[in-house]
Amino acid sequence: MTRHDDTLPKETFGRLRRHMSPALALSGKFAGQGEVEVSGEGCEVVLSDGRRALDFGSYAVTLLGHRYPAVVDAVRGQLEAMPVSTRTLSSPLAAAAAEEVVTYLDSPLRRVYFGTNGADAVEVAVKLARLVTGRSTVVAVRGAYHGKTMGALALTSHERFRTGLEPLLGGVQHVDPADGDAVRRAAAAGDLAAVVFEPVQGENGVVPLDTEVLRRWSDDAKRAGAFVIADEIQVGLRRAGERSLSLAAGLPVDAVLLGKPLGGGVVPVSAAVCTQELYQPLIEDPFRHTATFGGQPLCMAAVPAALRAVEAHADNGARVSKALETLLKDLRARFPDVLTAVRGRGLIWGVDFATPEYAGETVVGLAQRGLLVSPCLSRPGTLRLLPPLIATEADVRRAVLLLADTVEAARRTIGGRRPGEVA
């Protein structure tokens, strides 16, 4: 047997402690049993000791798995030609990517702004709504997560991210997700610029919002001359089954925000796809909101390849979703004392645990056994499973078996202890 060289893990954890965060070093070392990630292919990640882990996490980025060939080829080809833009001359890559996104959604949304992450898309959409309406009030939803930059953070409702940073962007109101009259009341003051919502709140534990409530909010916003912005950065592009949940539901949205898998899991890119009316300030002055690396050629080369690949695997994603739903509900029935709820749609599922202690024990145990999932940072009792479109039903069975083994082990470890009690 070849002796394992542990130089890379030791150097990595040392550098993390010295130059980044000791907490990152500790959590990564614990989850990887002293190893680090070194490569990825398809549904799997390879660790520094050669072990492989099935990736049902990565915070929804790897919808096509790791290094999807067509996307890698598109980016590699552009790398050889021109990786960055002059920002003075026009880029055919950005123009083609914008047309691809518009065609893909096949809706009244015909204008595109490209950013590098989800918060970029949120920031520009809210800025445009305020510029067009001349108003300042923005309605968001309790439990929302829209990013951590200062503007987007005002729409994010979780105190974990907001504490110590107030005052944030003014004029934001957070409303009860079940209150169908909330937008009508907010609009009555005459200052409503926009309502922003996630059709499924991913970071809040995979919580779908009621479509009829969203419809009432959208209609009330439109009657008030305000804009409707759907944040589908985590759940769009077939992650939750549809190209766009809000468009598929027939909601009169003025913008759909996309990100995470838009770069095919290879490069970072996001998009605010807007109506002409909402986008008007950027038609009149395209320099009103810019970002140096927004719309860069490497990212733009990835977008058409990623969207085509997503559609090529959409039917498989539906099969994987059905299998995962069935197995997770069976697992919930098997461990009713540990697993309190399972919910989701498509390829995004949330599993609620009886306590955050159970969830924490499980997420680490899963990584050590070879399954990566995504915790909910603002809902520590919930774990997200985010399988790729390219996963097989065998991958799903393997994942749920690992989850079952890990939950059983967590139950033995924690036993009847009260939360926080030391064994």
How many structural domains compose the chain? 2
pLDDT, tens digit, 9 for 90 and up, residues 170-184: 999 999 999 999 999
- Supply 273's token pair: 């796809």
pLDDT of residue 5: 73
Q: Is residue 1 part of a domain?
A: no
pLDDT number for residue 422: 45
Could you tell me if residue 420 is inside a domain? Answer: no
**E-state strands within 110-209:** 111-115, 137-141, 172-175, 192-197, 200-201, 207-208
Locate tokens 């799997």: which residue? 44
Instruction: For residue 2, tell me if it sits in a domain.
Output: no
Domain boundary among 281, 312, 343: 312
Largest distance between two CA atoms of the chain: 73
**Same domain assignment for residues 133 and 254:** yes
Of 261, 289, 312, which closes a domain? Answer: 312
198 and 77 in one domain?
A: yes
Which among 286, 312, 338 is the end of a domain? Answer: 312
Q: What is the pLDDT of residue 40?
A: 97
Q: Which residues in the chain show pLDDT less than 70?
A: 1-4, 416-423
Domain check: are 295 and 324 in the same one? no
Same domain? For 21 and 133 the reply is no
Check whether residue 35 and residue 157 sit in a common domain: no
26-42 as b/e: b if 16+ CB within 10 A: eebbebbeebbeeebeb
**233 and 382: one domain?**
no
Query: What confidence score (pLDDT) does residue 421 get?
Result: 52
How much is the pLDDT for 1? Answer: 34
301 lies in the same domain as 164: yes
273 shares its domain with 395: no
CA dihedral 211, 217, 223, 227 (to 10 degrees): -100
Do residues 157 and 25 both lie within one domain? Answer: no
Residues of the domain holding 376 = 7-64+313-414
Distance between CA 39 and CA 17 in Å, rounded? 22
Q: Is residue 388 part of a domain?
A: yes
Domain annotation covers residue 48: yes
Q: How many CA atoms lie within 13 A of 127 on its CB side?
A: 16
Within-domain flag for 422 = no
Assess whether 176 and 203 both reside in one domain.
yes
Structure tokens at 224: 């008030």
Query: Do 95 and 175 fall within a single domain?
Result: yes
What's 277's domain CATH number? 3.40.640.10
Cα pseudo-dihedral 397, 402, 404, 408, rounded to 10: 170
pLDDT recorded at residue 2:
47
Residues 325 and 200 in one domain: no
CATH number of the domain to which 407 belongs: 3.90.1150.10
